[in-house]
Amino acid sequence: MLIETREPMQLGRESEPLLNFKQGEANQGAWAGQRFLWVEDTPAFELSFWCGTCQFLFKRLEGANRTLSIPELTDKLADGIADIDLEVVSAFAELLPNGLYQPLLTTIEPRLVYPVKPGDYFADEQVATWNVERFWGLPQYPQTPYYRTFETAVSDNAHLYEFVVPMVPPTWNVPTRVAAMANRLAHSGEPTAVAVSTLDVCRPAMNVGTRDFYQHWGLTHFVLDGHHKLQAAAELGLPLQLLSLLAIDFSLADLEQIHRIPELLDQPPATR
């Protein structure tokens, strides 16, 4: 559920951001290299390919090996924020590459999903549209547990799926901190996680007899702060808040599609 949004803002560092969106080297005969989210000097996630007809993707890599909390904001975010806090936005923007970002504050109810287990988008909804990966004969594999939070119809021929992707898996979390956050969440839904987000809009180039041919809008929130909060909320089945910075310049979506996100997040949830 949408709480608040702001107009897009120019944020981030001109040089040497901790996180960056980069293109890898193109393979021989390829027209472009793969998209990546980097942490420092190492790829952390492989992202959907540029073409827009390949499968939607986030795949954890070796660079996703640390959380990115800002100690000075720990208490404020544990208590939660009532609206989009520009102090918090500015602090986390210092981790990001320079670009246009849309701040969004939402309430989410995370559900932890494991690859190729019940609820896995890549083994279910994606296979229904693209079939399995042609060479391996298997679904895309994200190499990480992740949280599903929301989905809704964009139109008869398009559907929005929202994902919250941790930098590190829940097994890396500290149990005592998860328990402490569970106690907070039992009394308040305002504890707030923070993420940088992308919108990737993907659809096969043609219908090749798949079960469900339509456009997939993948809204992915890469967690900067809040790993323990998310695990606690998922285990208890409770809501929490998410402050996300939607990276407009680094998404696979046009401005019209980006501008629809606040409206879509305010719709009732709906399955395909």
pLDDT digit string (tens) for the chain, length 272 residues: 999 999 999 999 999 999 999 987 766 666 567 899 999 999 999 999 868 788 999 999 999 999 999 999 999 999 999 999 999 999 999 999 999 999 999 999 999 999 999 999 999 999 999 998 888 889 999 999 999 999 999 999 999 999 999 999 999 999 999 999 999 999 988 999 999 999 999 998 877 776 789 999 999 999 999 999 999 999 999 999 999 999 999 999 999 999 999 999 999 999 99
Instruction: Specify if 42 maps to a domain.
Output: yes
Give the domain extent around 40: 2-22+35-62+72-265
In a domain, 67, yes or no: no
Residue 152 to residues 18, 179, 268, Cα–Cα distance (Å): 33, 32, 7
Is 170 inside a domain boundary?
yes
For residue 28, is it within any domain? no
Is 44 within a domain? yes
The answer to whether 233 and 109 are in contact (CB under 8 A) is: yes
Kindly state whether residue 10 falls inside one of the protein's structural domains.
yes
The reported pLDDT for the residue numbered 143 is: 98
Tell whether 29 is covered by a domain: no
Residue 261 lies in a domain: yes
Q: Domains in the chain: how many in total?
A: 1
Full-model pTM: 0.96
Residue 44's identity, in one-letter code, is A
